[in-house]
């Protein structure tokens, strides 16, 4: 699926994506609830892959201000959107937003958890991408993935994306 993440339309992303993905907000609530069970409230380091939309950061930082976040996204425009959303929500999490890709993150650091929500359908080399994320996780760390599946050239998919 091709998308120009530097086009001005990206600033409409947070308004449009919940219309296209049924139960969008519930995905993030479920992610948060499961991470809450697995991670310490005192401190945790979470890698957010595809952080540009800001949804994971806003959801988690509101509920877990003691956690640290590393958000990575190849789009400067989308990272700008994430920063804006954090600012508007009045959240100043321990967040490091990095313009780039997962393989550019430090290899020696081990994250306590990772999220990759609604990103995989944009990735060509999925196995390598997932291996890069996994190699930066501590043993037993939870890794949350939500992915669009199915025929993205079908009429049904095109119709859904018009929402």
Contact 36, 59 (CB under 8 A): no
Residue 110 and residue 138: Cα distance in Å, rounded?
5
| Confidence at residue 45, expressed as pLDDT on a 0 to 100 scale | 96
Which pairs from 26-30 meet CB under 8 Å and 24+ separation? 27/117, 27/118, 27/146, 28/55, 28/56, 28/59, 28/117, 29/59
Enter the tokens of residue 7.
């086009």
Place 29 in a pLDDT band, splitting at 50, 70 and 90.
very high
pLDDT tens for 85-110 read 898 888 876 789 999 999 999 888 99
pLDDT tens for 126-139 read 999 999 999 999 99
Asked: is 12-161 a CATH 3.40.50.150 domain? The reply is yes
pLDDT tens for 7-20 read 556 555 566 655 56
Contact 64, 89 (CB under 8 A): no
- Helix 55-63 vs helix 24-38: angle between axes, to the nearest 10 degrees? 50
The helix, strand and coil proportions of the chain, stated in percent and rounded to the nearest 5, come to 45, 15, 35
Residue 50 and residue 98: Cα distance in Å, rounded?
10
Average pLDDT value over all residues in the chain: 85
pTM, entire model:
0.82
Place 39 in a pLDDT band, splitting at 50, 70 and 90.
very high
- Could you tell me which of 48, 81, 83 has the C-alpha nearest to residue 64? 48
Query: Which residue ranges make up each domain of the chain?
Result: 12-161
Place 30 in a pLDDT band, splitting at 50, 70 and 90.
very high
């Amino acid at each position: 699926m091709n998308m120009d993440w530097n086009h001005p339309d990206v600033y409409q992303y947070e308004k449009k994506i919940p219309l296209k993905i049924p139960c969008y907000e519930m995905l993030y609530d479920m992610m948060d609830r499961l991470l809450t069970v697995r991670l310490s409230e005192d401190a945790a380091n979470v890698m957010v892959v595809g952080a540009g939309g800001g949804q994971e950061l806003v959801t988690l930082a509101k509920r877990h201000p003691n956690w640290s976040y590393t958000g990575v996204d190849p789009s400067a425009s989308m990272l700008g959107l994430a920063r804006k959303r954090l600012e508007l929500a009045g959240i100043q999490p321990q967040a490091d937003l990095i313009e780039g890709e997962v393989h550019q993150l430090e290899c020696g650091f081990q994250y306590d958890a990772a999220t990759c929500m609604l990103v995989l359908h944009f990735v060509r080399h999925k196995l390598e991408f997932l291996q890069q994320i996994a190699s930066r996780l501590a043993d037993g760390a939870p890794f949350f993935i939500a992915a669009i599946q199915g025929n993205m050239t079908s009429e049904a998919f095109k119709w859904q994306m018009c929402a």
